[in-house]
Amino acid sequence: MHSLNAPQREAVLYTQGPLLVLAGAGSGKTRVITEKIAHLIASGQREARHIAAITFTNKSAKEMKERVARRVKGDAAEGLTISTFHALGLRFLQQEAGRAGLKRGFSVFDPDDQMAIVKDLMPAGTRPDVLERLRGLVSRAKNEALTPEQAMERAMSAVEREAANLYAKYQQRLAAFNAVDFDDLIRLPVQLLEADPDFAAGWRERIRYLLVDECQDTNGAQYRLLKALAGPRGSFTCVGDDDQSIYAWRGAQPENLNLLARDYPELRIIKLEQNYRCGQRILRLANTLIAHNPHEHLKTLWSDQREGDRIRVWRCENSEHEADRVAAEIDYLSKAKDIPYGEFAVLFRGNHQSRPLEKALQLLRIPYHLTGGTAFLERAEVKDALAWLRLVANPDDDAAFLRAVASPARGIGGTSLARLAELARQHQLSLDGAARQMSVLKQLQPRIAAALGEFAGIIDRLRDDAERLPAKDLVMALAERSGMLEAFRATSKDKAGYERRKANLEELAGWFDGPKSSVGDLAAQMMLLSHADRGEPGNAVRLMSLHASKGLEFRAVFLVGLEDGTLPHEASLEEGRLEEERRLLYVGITRAKEHLVLSHSLETRRWGETVRLTPSRFLDELPQGDLLRDGADPEAEAASRKARGRAHLAAMAALFEESK
């Protein structure tokens, strides 16, 4: 702890009441949280089993666990909870399933499952955008921890009333499936805790100290969960930064930081303002930009890193020209400054901006990784295996049944499944239950009835396997019994394709290292993993959206597409919502440690026409003395172009030699 600065040490040692740590970008907030956990345990103030730390990604939770393990001796950290909000909610519901109206082994539905229910409940032919809007309104009501009845009471328009109606039917369908969705993992614990003070007090005895990371990203329901678990005594440390709140589109409410002071009058506030990441000039850019936003708690980041060169602002002809300049500069810096490719990031407002960048990097043979590509858990064979596991654990999971029965295909088409679903509703059975009823099967074509009977037999054998096999072995058992591996052999173009899909299932099996009886719980936990939880992409340039870059840092950062209509986004300009767009650029700037380039294009092509673009208004909010705009210093630019030109020609010559 001796290496902590004074505010960090104060934040670690203060345990007398509620605490808010305002942690600026690069100020060491994760270290403060892990040191505080270690201090609470080592000082004997709290046993590890009574401490819970909440993060926003499983990847962050894993990193925090590893740091705590290095700081705490022996088994003193045993029983410590470090998880995401949703994982904590899942654990809560698994322990309190009966109180929540659930049976053990309930399923967690992902967005695809949710949309399938919404589509089924709405009239045939409802437009996809209408379905998505209604699903979003249902999700918003849940994120405010509202019941369907409360959502109807608050409805102010016809579409909100339609969404509240849908919400009620949607919940009935989830109950029939013995399932919850992601939003329920927070909403249900909040409603149970708020409804019964004695029950809430019991949970506060289990969790006697709470630490919450990225508090500015909490939505209404998450904030209420925090309050319900912390209770009136406020034994918590919340860490956040209102300047890095960039998730309003998914319900984040940065004003929750201000609510803490209202709900806990004795709240102590400690500011972490020393930045350990950025050069002074980069930090000055960030501070000047974000000062244009209103602040409840003003803070000014400072750094003792070197000043650094002036920040270049590129004026490019179009996105292709911009991409070529980015690729050439990465090629130059990687060689001239010996910067590994993995220390470069190219950040943009939307993923569609990656296409010309990928082409330019490919041309120079520069390895890159596009964040937001097909995630491991979104691969078809992985989702299929998870559906089988969900169905093995929960016979009422109709969404899992529909995916599993079609993966691999066994000659049961959509019309037959619709008929099965109709008969299941008539008999008040799940699809799995209906597939086992002779009275139901007799009303189907003999070929379909036989296929369903065979499918039910496979599920039965896998349920027997689940009683005796470790969960990781069950994954490969189902891959064999279900016919997946055989289907891979038949449908893969070559042996490599088969091996790749099989390897994905083997990797999934490796994730299941829990006890053999917890296959249902493990399948549910798998549903909570996100893009942010994948492993590192290795030594490759990172292409990613500004939203995805939060929490990361790189030696060299390129911010592209800085035009009005892109950043700030067109919708934000029309609606006057510039504060979050400004925070988004602030987050991008503060990812850079040494080198930062800001670029914009003069024109683009839209619907076959050339459209002139206006540089982002945010560029004029930056300290102009710290910028080096194209054309401002012709002599320096000429020397720079000469050096980079030589490097580019050398790279192209090397490629030519390789191609001989």
pLDDT tens digits for range 208-262: 999 999 888 888 889 999 999 998 888 999 998 877 877 776 666 778 888 898 9
Catalytic residue (one of 31, 46, 591, 593): 591
Average pLDDT in the 627-644 region? Answer: 75
Closest by CA to 563, choosing from 604, 624, 596, is 604
251 or 134, which is more confident: 134
Question: Which residue shows structure tokens 């209509």?
Answer: 565
Catalytic residue (one of 213, 329, 343, 579): 213
Catalytic residue (one of 214, 396, 397, 581): 214
Q: Quote the CA–CA distance of 637 and 641 in Å, as a whole number.
A: 6
Those residues with Cβ within 8 angstroms of residue 157's Cβ, 6 or more apart along the chain or in another chain:
none
Instruction: Check if 244 is active-site.
Output: yes
pLDDT at 534: 46
pLDDT category of residue 1 using cuts at 50, 70 and 90:
low
At 436 the three-state DSSP class reads coil
- Residue 404 parent element (H or E): helix 398-405
Q: Quote the CA–CA distance of 239 and 12 in Å, as a whole number.
A: 12
Catalytic residue (one of 55, 216, 244, 353): 244
pLDDT at 608: 74
Average pLDDT in the 167-195 region? Answer: 91
Which percentage of the chain shows pLDDT scores above 90? 45
Mean pLDDT of the chain: 86
Query: 58-71 and 29-42 are packed helices; what angle lies between their axes, rounded to 10 degrees?
Result: 50
Average pLDDT in the 54-58 region? Answer: 84
pLDDT at 594: 93
Residue 616 has pLDDT above 90, yes or no: yes
Catalytic residue (one of 8, 29, 46, 312): 29
**Count of Cβ atoms closer than 10 Å to residue 628 Cβ:** 18
Question: Which residue shows structure tokens 């940065």?
Answer: 254
- Residue 264 gets the label, from left (phi > 0), alpha (psi -120 to 50) or beta, of beta
Rg over alpha carbons for the chain, rounded to the nearest Å, is 27
**C-beta of residue 253 within 8 angstroms of C-beta of residue 219:** yes
Closest by CA to 148, choosing from 136, 135, 160, 165, is 165
**pLDDT tens sequence across 373-385:** 555 667 888 889 9
Question: Which residue shows structure tokens 């990203």?
Answer: 217
Q: Which two tokens stand for residue 517?
A: 């009886």
Q: Sign of dihedral through CA atoms 103, 108, 109, 111? A: positive
pLDDT category of residue 309 using cuts at 50, 70 and 90:
confident
Three-class DSSP labels, 556-591? EEEECCCECECCCEHHHHHHCCCHHHHHHHHHHHCC
**pLDDT tens sequence across 512-534:** 655 444 566 666 666 665 444 44
Instruction: Check if 30 is active-site.
Output: yes
pLDDT at 640: 67
Instruction: Check if 29 is active-site.
Output: yes
**C-beta of residue 591 within 8 angstroms of C-beta of residue 371:** no
- Residue 187 parent element (H or E): helix 184-195
**pLDDT tens sequence across 573-615:** 888 789 989 999 999 999 999 999 999 999 988 777 888 999 9
pLDDT at 355: 83
126 or 517, which is more confident: 126
pLDDT category of residue 632 using cuts at 50, 70 and 90:
confident
Bridge partners (DSSP) listed for residue 270: 21
Q: Which two tokens stand for residue 407?
A: 């993966």
Closest by CA to 208, choosing from 241, 244, 186, 234, is 234
pLDDT category of residue 179 using cuts at 50, 70 and 90:
confident
Instruction: Check if 65 is active-site.
Output: no
Catalytic residue (one of 9, 10, 15, 30): 30
Residue 271 has pLDDT above 90, yes or no: yes
User: pTM to 2 decimals?
Assistant: 0.76
Three-class DSSP labels, 440-486? HHCCCCHHHHHHHHHHHHHHHHHHHHHHHCCHHHHHHHHHHHCCHHH
pLDDT at 590: 94
**C-beta of residue 32 within 8 angstroms of C-beta of residue 276:** no
Pairing of the two strands 603-606 and 609-612: antiparallel
* Complete DSSP assignment for 299-364: ---B--S---PPEEEEEESSHHHHHHHHHHHHHHHHHHS---GGGEEEEESSGGGHHHHHHHHHHT
pLDDT at 533: 47
